[in-house]
């Protein structure tokens, strides 16, 4: 196990507290006032570890509203199979993505007020610890500014002396001021943090993790300046004249990573689909810039458990159902449009001897991202059917997985759906990305790491900044690096829509899509009144033949529970009422 993941346990024994729970149940702001902490390196490491752990990261265990509700389920990437949970609501609820992280900010500020007094550390060590804490705080402020716009910028430990509370009630800064703060912090702490870490510290921030944060944050700021609207005197929205400066900053931060020579697109497998699949499973690849670790013996993820196909699940499963719309956007390897070939030129259904042939020559990233009908999986096959076509052309559909076809032993819907109700796929697809391909995984035992920042994203950030600045040549170069690794034809020219398309394909289900369509201010156009589609396979029944010899047709049909309504106020989240009641100087966002 990585040493950094053991720091809290080490601190428990070193501090000789009554039990390990005592230290974990006490907030850092209480413990850090104890002078014994600052003469004990293990205790300091434990609280740096706690700051990393509390840092807002939208990882494999990140849910919106409640458990097993993922960001993709309220975008155009996927629908949700379960009937419970607000992710099923047609009207996307306010507050689903809320995160008011001032407990974390307070913990960091308290740490920063004490770390330079740590006599057990050298001055250089103190500076590095300080930079790590500031990185955690910058991550937290980025998490808030992309949700709420401007928020109170609190950079010092606040102390209540029993007198006037007004000095503690900091008003919101402008949105641009928060982004400027993040950029300034990143520039300062990048010079302090090491370029690389030893193996036993590989999950701690480096100089290039900081540049990756700066790159992403500046991209978001530039998008808000170009595509958003200034309201509340700049508390939300950024003046359009700042856009190019932010695009330039995003590009410059990306170039620092690209020119370092320390990172590369993953190419560990010869097969392109397998290569993209193992990009997220191989823990030693050169694409990861900053990673959050999960392991099955100490701290596991739940993504496998909640997303396993019906016949491969431990208990729950099937939650995230990729849409046919997303699948059709993946091009063919020759670069042609990705529309699925379900009908011939006359509009008649094509009969496939092997249903997986429908996906022949599709972008290999698709085959690594979704589990499609009759996909090989964990030593078996994911058997997805919507119904059976009888010899007279009529269709028999199933109402449950147990329904048999006309006195035979053949289940109408196969082992894995699709059905319009029940906990099975509603779209004809399950998710493959991040999933363990060799075994079932129980709750909390998943060990797929989460790449908070990876080189592929940096290249796409760079391409977006370049195309917005009018530098098509450099944008084209970056996009083609991504496409070449994917195994599809390279572009000869590129525009903004193609850059955004490449981002959607490469980063699907990596929790970027919701933020991308918000920062581009296209979420209302994209989601409102949109009927998302399902790909439904139908077995063509032939009497006297074994099922394995029968053909399949496919129909693209409306997915159940598929409509969305995105209100324009959702471009910024509602500030929690508790925050405003505590601090009346905070102004609520428009529309709430």
Tokens of 540: 């063509």
Instruction: Give the whole-angstrom CA distance, residue 257 versus residue 271.
Output: 27
Region class of 92: left (phi > 0), else alpha (psi between -120 and 50), else beta: beta
Residue 363 lies inside a defined structural domain of this protein: yes
Q: Cα 574 to the chain's mean position, in Å?
A: 21
Question: What is the per-residue burial (b if ≥16 Cβ within 10 Å, else e) of 372-389?
Answer: bbbbebbeebbbbbbbbb
What confidence score (pLDDT) does residue 393 get? 95
Residue 568 lies inside a defined structural domain of this protein: no
Dihedral pair phi/psi, residue 551, rounded to 5°: -95, 170
Residue 541 lies inside a defined structural domain of this protein: yes
Domain of residue 349 covers 302-448+530-558
Angle between helices 455-468 and 207-227 (to 10 degrees): 40
What domain count does the chain have?
1
Q: Are the beta carbons of 335 and 488 closer than 8 angstroms? A: yes
Q: How confident is the prediction along the chain (592 residues), in pLDDT tens digits per residue?
A: 343 443 333 333 333 322 233 333 344 445 556 677 889 999 999 999 999 999 999 999 999 977 889 999 999 999 988 776 666 677 888 999 999 999 999 999 999 999 999 999 999 999 999 999 999 999 999 999 999 999 999 999 998 877 778 889 999 999 999 999 999 999 999 999 999 999 999 999 999 999 999 999 999 999 999 999 999 999 999 999 999 999 999 999 999 999 999 999 999 999 999 999 999 999 999 999 999 999 988 789 999 999 999 999 999 999 999 999 999 999 999 999 999 999 999 999 999 999 999 999 999 999 999 999 999 999 999 999 999 999 999 999 999 999 999 999 999 999 999 998 888 999 999 999 999 999 999 999 999 999 999 999 999 999 999 999 999 999 999 999 999 999 999 999 999 999 999 999 999 999 999 999 999 999 999 999 888 999 999 999 999 999 999 999 999 999 987 688 899 999 999 999 999 999 999 999 999 9
Residue 40 lies inside a defined structural domain of this protein: no
CB atoms within 10 A of CB 479: 26
Instruction: Give the whole-angstrom CA distance, residue 385 versus residue 240.
Output: 50
**DSSP classification of residue 263:** -
Residue 246 lies inside a defined structural domain of this protein: no
Residue 83 lies inside a defined structural domain of this protein: no
Residue 355 lies inside a defined structural domain of this protein: yes
Residues contacting 162, CB < 8 A, separation 6+: none
Angle between helices 472-486 and 455-468 (to 10 degrees): 150
- Look up the pTM and report it: 0.93
Residue 410 lies inside a defined structural domain of this protein: yes
Partners of residue 557 on adjacent β-strands: 534
């Amino acid at each position: 196990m990585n040493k950094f993941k053991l720091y809290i346990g080490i601190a428990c024994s070193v501090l000789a507290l009554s039990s390990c729970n005592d230290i974990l149940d006490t907030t850092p702001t209480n413990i850090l006032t104890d002078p014994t902490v600052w003469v004990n390196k293990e205790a300091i490491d434990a609280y740096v570890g706690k700051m990393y752990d509390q840092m807002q990261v939208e990882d494999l265990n990140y849910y919106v509203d409640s458990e097993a509700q993922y960001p993709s389920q309220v975008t155009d990437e996927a629908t949700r199979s379960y009937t419970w949970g607000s992710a099923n609501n047609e009207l996307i609820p306010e507050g689903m993505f809320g995160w008011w992280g001032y407990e974390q900010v307070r913990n960091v500020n308290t740490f920063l007020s004490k770390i330079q007094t740590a006599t057990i550390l050298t001055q250089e060590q103190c500076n590095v610890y300080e930079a790590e804490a500031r990185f955690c705080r910058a991550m937290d402020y980025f998490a808030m500014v992309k949700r709420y716009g401007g928020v109170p910028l609190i950079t010092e430990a606040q102390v209540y002396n029993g007198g006037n509370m007004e000095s503690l009630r900091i008003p919101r800064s402008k949105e641009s001021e928060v982004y400027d703060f993040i950029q300034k912090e990143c520039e300062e702490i990048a010079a302090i943090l090491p370029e690389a870490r030893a193996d036993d510290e590989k999950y701690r921030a480096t100089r290039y993790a900081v540049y990756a944060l700066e790159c992403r944050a500046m991209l978001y700021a530039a998008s808000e300046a170009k595509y958003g609207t200034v309201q509340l005197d700049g508390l939300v929205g950024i003046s359009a004249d700042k856009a190019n400066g932010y695009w330039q900053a995003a590009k410059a931060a990306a170039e620092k990573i690209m020119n370092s020579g320390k990172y590369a697109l993953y190419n560990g497998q010869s097969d392109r689909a397998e290569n993209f699949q193992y990009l997220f499973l191989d823990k030693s690849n050169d694409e990861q810039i900053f990673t959050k670790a999960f392991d099955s013996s100490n701290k596991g993820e739940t993504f496998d458990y909640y997303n396993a196909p019906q016949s491969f699940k431990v208990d729950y499963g099937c939650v995230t159902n990729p849409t046919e719309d997303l699948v059709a956007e993946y091009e063919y390897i020759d670069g042609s449009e990705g529309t699925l070939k379900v009908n011939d030129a006359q509009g008649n259904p094509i009969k496939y001897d092997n249903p997986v042939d429908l996906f022949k020559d599709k972008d290999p990233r698709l085959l690594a991202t979704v589990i499609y009908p009759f996909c090989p999986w964990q030593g078996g096959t994911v058997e997805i059917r919507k119904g059976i076509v009888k010899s007279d052309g009529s269709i028999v559909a199933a109402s449950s997985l147990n329904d048999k076809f006309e006195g035979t032993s053949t289940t109408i819907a196969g082992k894995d759906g699709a059905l319009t109700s029940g906990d099975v796929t509603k779209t004809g697809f399950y998710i493959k990305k991040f999933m363990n391909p060799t075994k079932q995984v129980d709750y909390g035992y998943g060990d797929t790491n989460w790449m908070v920042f990876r080189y592929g994203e940096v290249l796409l950030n760079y391409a977006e900044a370049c195309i917005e600045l009018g530098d098509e040549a450099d944008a084209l170069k970056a996009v083609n690096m991504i496409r070449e690794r994917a195994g599809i034809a390279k572009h000869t020219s590129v525009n903004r829509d193609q850059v955004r398309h490449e981002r959607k394909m490469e980063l699907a289900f990596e929790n970027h899509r919701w933020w991308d369509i918000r920062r581009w201010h296209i979420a209302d156009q994209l989601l409102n009144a949109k009927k998302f589609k399902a790909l439904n396979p139908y077995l063509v029944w032939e009497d006297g033949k074994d099922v394995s010899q029968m053909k399949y047709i496919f129909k693209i049909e409306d997915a159940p529970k598929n409509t969305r309504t995105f209100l324009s106020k959702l471009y910024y989240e509602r500030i929690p009422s508790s925050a405003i009641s505590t601090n009346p100087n905070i102004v609520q966002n428009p529309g709430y």
